[in-house]
Amino acid sequence: MRGVSAPDSTGAGRGRTAPTRPVRAAAPPPERTTRQTAVEEDSVDAVIAWFAEEGRDLPWRHEDASTWAILVSEVMLQQTPVVRVLPRWLEWMERWPAPSDLADAPTAEVLRCWDRLGYPRRALRLQECARVIVREHGGRVPRGEEALRSLPGIGEYTAAAITAFSHQERAVVVDTNIRRVLARSVRGRALPDRSYSAAERAVATASLPLPRQRSVDWNRAVMELGALVCTARAPRCEQCPLAGNGCAWFAAGRPRAQEDTRRRQAFEGTDRQMRGMIMALLRRDGSAAEDQLLALDEANIERARRGIRTLIADGLAVREGTQLRLP
């Protein structure tokens, strides 16, 4: 996901009836007495009920979506918004509805279909993943987070998301959106830590409801809340089910985040931009002369050369004499 970009997210469709709060099991649950350690049960209820009314109706959330379809959506959604992913996902599912279909596809066609989603190595990893699923798992996406994480391109977040959203099992799903909701509601901070920390992991684990289905509903709902309402730059607290009771950050008056001193590189003029320009040309024409590629930045030819070298190294392009082509 991933975003996300870390990665961004999945869940179920709009209009589901909000689940009733379950009766406690005989065994006592983990201690959840303070907002500093976990989301309270009433807040879980509120977020799940909100999602039942406001959750987006996305095709990978439908009950008939296959595990493979959900896996593809999670990889595409890493660091890429839903509005860009949706048309690409629909095309992929039309062309390659099962791992075996993608495994047999020409790699050049896979990269063309990836289009402008960005980070095209994800497309290569998805095809590698499909081939491993066919070769080692009989064409079926395996169950269990450990087995999923053994697949190419599948990390901790994606394995947990597939386990929760497809296999309907209890899993600690944590993407950028969930981290932000928990940072505000539990820890009273405007933004999560710079990188996924042990403290964040502890809050996410303690906040996950114990009943299996309730945990799945919570993962869907809190992720959607972060994507639509508890956003990074312009949170819509007036629409948040936690604003009245359950958000430490809102209760404290929405204190500003500590200044982030990390330098952010502009996209314009970067090597990443150059790689994208080269890939766009190769997707359009299939191949291009090196002189044509170097002319993409006549003021900095070395930048274009770096783009060519790194694309070849990443398996995204192949050199044939003075030509560069898709693999």
Model pLDDT for residues 230-243, shown as the tens digit of each residue: 999 999 999 999 99
Domain shared by 82 and 152, yes or no: yes
Q: Are residues 139 and 232 in the same domain?
A: no
Extract the tokens encoding 254: 């929405």
Q: Is residue 192 part of a domain?
A: yes
- Report pTM: 0.83
Q: Which of 165, 192, 222 is the last residue of a domain?
A: 165
User: What is the band of 31 on the pLDDT scale with cuts at 50, 70, 90?
Assistant: very low
Domain-embedded: residue 212: yes
Question: Residues 40, 74, 200, 224: which is the catalytic one?
Answer: 74
* Residue pLDDT, tens place only, 123-137: 999 999 999 999 999
Structural domain range at position 188: 41-57+174-251
User: Which of 120, 143, 165 corresponds to the end of one domain?
Assistant: 165
Same domain, 53 and 82: no
74 is catalytic: yes
Q: How far is residue 258's CA from residue 190's CA, in Å, rounded to a whole number?
A: 8
Number of domains the chain is built from: 3
Band of residue 179 on the pLDDT scale cut at 50, 70, 90: very high
- Are residue 194 and residue 278 in the same domain, yes or no? no
Q: 59-72: per-residue pLDDT in tens?
A: 999 999 999 999 99
| Residue 257: per-residue pLDDT | 85
Domain assignment present for residue 106? The answer is: yes
Decide: residue 173, CB within 10 A, 0-12 exposed, 13-18 middle, 19+ buried: buried
Q: Does residue 231 fall inside a structural domain?
A: yes
Residue 261 domain-assigned? Answer: no
Q: Are residues 52 and 64 in the same domain?
A: no
